[in-house]
Amino acid sequence: MELGTLNQAFQEVEDSKPVEDIPTTTHVQLEEKVADPPANEYTQIKPYAGMPKEVLLLYSSQACYRVPREILFWLIVACTLTLVALTISVVALSPRCLSWWQVSPVYQVYPRSFRDSDGDGVGDIKGIQEMLGHFEYLNIKSVWISPIYRSPMRDLGYDVEDFRAIDPLFGTMQDFDDLLAEMHKLGLKLIMDFIPNHTSDKHRWFNLSRAREPHYEDYYVWADCSATGPKPNNWVSMFGNSSWTYDEVRGQCYLHQFLKKQPDLNFRNPRVRQEMLDIISFWLDKGVDGFRMDSVKHLLEAAHLRDEPQVDPDKPPESVVSEWDLHHDFTTTQLGLHDLLREWRAQMDDFSREPGRYRLMVTESQDGPEVEKTMMYYGTPLTKESDFPFNFYLLDLPQNTSGLWVKHLVNLWMANMPTGRWANWLVGNHNIPRVASRAGQRYMRVINMLLLTLPGTPTTYYGEEIGMENINVTESQIQDPAGRYNASASRDPQRSPMQWSADPNAGFNNKTNMTWLPVHPNYSRVNVEVQKQDEGSVLSQYRLLNTLRQSELPLQRGWFCYIHADRGVFAYLRELDGLDRAFLLVLNFGHESAVTDLSAITELPGRLRVLISTNRANDGKVFSKSLIATEAGEGLMIEFSSRARFNTNHPGMCYVSEKACYLAAMDILYTC
Ligand code: GLC
């Protein structure tokens, strides 16, 4: 139908009706005229509903209405898709926000020795609370507190009698709640020690188990033996001698991988697993921010109980008494261990959903040269376990101070860590002689500079920030059970009271002259108060470096690139794409002064100004990059503009060798 014909048809309809009869819907009228459909409610109300085919065909063939709309439609679709794609790429390529446990170092408080508020000679919870200002001063946000559970203290708290109670020596549950509330108010996170492998022999479960009470019979690892006969096998305890002890009540032997006062729990028993999950929930419900999980590699033992192979097969079996005598094939890292950790992780994740309430899981396992075993504690890309397993490799640093050695130790972690995971560094804890004593006070500053400028979370054992040293402990002063077996194995020397000031007892307490271990005689010189006044002190430098680490993105999350290592110096860069400020670290771990030539690193400007030297006299010095001078034990932090890198045709981020650069906090490992 032509347009003219259509108009004519309308006109005819108009003309044939008296004005008052014309229905409001002209088109219905028209349709009635053409097709004469039965009238119904729908056609009465809807305009156009009954438009004749000719009219519809006419409109549909008019390209001037359809094409622009289609173009508009597809334009909108294309724009929307582009926007979505752009958003996804920006999100995917942006660095992840770092979590609290990545931003701040973890500070380990050994509660017996931190601060004694009531003058009984032993540190306590109120004492920790009194000293929270120290963490603010240091810009530390994460604090791990060694065990404060109720305990007979045979292993100074690592023998737990009640996982849901605070030992009166340290205070009350109310003290703990107050401490936690105050820490949270100050933006501090509290990490608890969690000791799942064993309990104290005073634990209720052990008494029920030795009495073969229903449900509790298999809470521990029991095996047949007699009071005087041979032990079930040749397994030895970490503290020496057989790891089996005969129990008269039950008439069997129980396993203890540590002291005989620390019977091993049986994690093959689902009830024990549930108990542990409940304990984790108990503390997470209270609001604690994470756990350091103790001795995890010992959690399971082979059920067959076969002898472990001797390191020296020719040694008479009766002289196998120390952990070093055996290969621990059946008492460590058994199948099923990682399932346990995943269960705990899942439990912790349930508590991590609330924004800003991420709960940290750190595992303790020293696997020596078997670094791949340690890395397994990170879990897999699909099933996470710890946020990081403690990195014990730098404990070997004092053995052979040289740049090459330190680079080797650092690279042990970096080269083996699963891609995209977060590193961590420590040089001491309550089990290891203090680093200032092992490496020498001269190296304390450069070691702190290393820890605070490597990518990953540093852990600081209390007192390392002021360079505390081991104390001498006479036999009569020994407190550590490990020292009772073998005085040289005592861990007391590294557990002495914190040195706060030059006051009596180093300000550890102010009521009596009693302290559970002697205070180091150097306390009038090596203490927090004195070092606060000295800008060049170990403490002031720690604080400055830690503040820089948290304010300078390249140090926190940037690329980490090796550029040099020799028998004295270890040098590396920290820089982040898109940021002009970058940092060069030149650390001399050797015994002699050195001059380092970095002229091969074309990205570095010719002249380099020292931002911080561990020897303050060298702050601000300007070096030619081919002649960077350092003294033995000196570390230099040099700030430079990384713009040169963008102006050269440098093929990416590799400076020295394959896999020389790592980017913290992203799933990127740069390989040349
Ligand atoms: C862990 C602790 C250590 C303790 C042992 C037994 O290794 O760090 O101090 O003696 O477990 O509980």
HEC assignment per residue over 126-186: HHHHHCHHHHHHHCCCEEEECCCEECCCCCCCCCCCEEEEECCCCCCHHHHHHHHHHHHHC
Q: 158 CB under 6 A from ligand 1?
A: yes
Q: Choosing from 155, 201, 308, 364, which is the catalytic residue?
A: 364
Question: Is 363 near ligand 1, meaning CB less than 6 Å away?
Answer: no
Q: Which residues on adjacent β-strands are paired with residue 109?
A: 145
Q: Tokens 């809470």 map to which residue?
A: 219
Give the ligand 1 atom nearest the CA of 482.
10
CA of 48 to the centre of ligand 1 (A): 85
Ligand 1 atom, smallest distance to 258 CA? 6
pLDDT digits (tens, 9 = 90+) for 623-633: 999 999 999 99
What confidence tens digit (pLDDT) does each residue in 393-441 have?
999 999 888 999 999 999 999 999 998 899 999 999 999 999 999 999 9
Sign (positive/negative) of CA torsion 238, 241, 242, 245? Answer: negative
Cβ of 480 closer than 6 Å to ligand 1, yes or no, is no
295 lines ligand 1 (CB under 6 A): yes
pLDDT in tens, 439-484: 999 999 999 999 999 999 999 999 999 999 999 999 899 999 888 7
N-to-C CA span, the chain? 74
**CA 192–ligand 1 middle distance (angstroms):** 14
Distance between CA atoms of 593 and 609, rounded to whole angstroms? 19
* pLDDT tens-place string over residues 614-671: 999 999 999 999 999 999 999 999 999 987 665 554 444 555 444 467 776 554 444 4
Q: What is the pLDDT of residue 90?
A: 74
At 31 the pLDDT is 42
Confidence tier at 306 by pLDDT (50, 70, 90): very high
Atom of ligand 1 at shortest range from CA of 481: 10
- The residues that bridge with 143 in the sheet, in sequence order, are 107, 190
**Ligand 1: does its nearest atom lie under 6 Å from the Cβ of 155?**
yes
Atom 9 in ligand 1: residue holding the nearest Cα: 431
Nearest Cα residue to atom 2 of ligand 1: 294
At 486 the pLDDT is 80
294 Cβ closer than 6 Å to some ligand 1 atom: yes
Write down the pLDDT at residue 482.
Answer: 86
Residues of the chain above pLDDT 90, percent: 76
pLDDT grade, residue 87 (50/70/90)?
confident
Confidence of residue 50 (pLDDT cuts 50, 70, 90): low
Q: What is the Cα–Cα distance from 317 to 224, expressed in whole angstroms?
A: 20
User: Does 254 sit in the ligand 1 pocket, CB within 6 Å?
Assistant: no
**Substitution candidate for ligand 1 out of 294, 485, 495 with most atoms within 8 A of CB:** 294
The domains of the chain, with CATH numbers, are 3-60 (no CATH), 104-195+282-294+359-373+384-546 (3.20.20.80), 198-264+301-334 (3.90.400.10), 553-668 (2.60.40.1180)
Could you confirm whether 354 is annotated as catalytic? no
Report the pLDDT value the prediction gives residue 253, as an integer from 0 to 100: 98
Name the residue among 630, 631, 609 with its Cα closest to residue 620: 609
Burial string for 548-582 (b: 16+ CB within 10 Å, else e) reads: bbbebbbbbbbbbbbbbbeebbbbbbbbbeeeebb
| Residue 649 pLDDT | 46
The rounded Å distance from CA 430 to ligand 1 centre is 9
User: Does ligand 1 lie within 6 Å of residue 366's CB atom?
Assistant: no
How big is the CA angle at 512 (ends 506 and 517), to the nearest 5 degrees?
Answer: 60
Predicted model pTM: 0.86
Cα(530) to centroid(ligand 1), Å: 33
Span from the CA of 491 to the centroid of ligand 1 (angstroms)? 11
Q: Tell me what the pLDDT averaged over the chain comes to.
A: 89
Q: Any residues with CB less than 8 A from the CB of 473 and at least 6 apart, and which? A: 479, 483, 490, 492, 493, 517, 518
Known active-site residue 294: yes
Q: Which residue among 167, 294, 465, 492 is the active-site one?
A: 294
| Ligand 1 pocket member 443 (CB < 6 A) | no
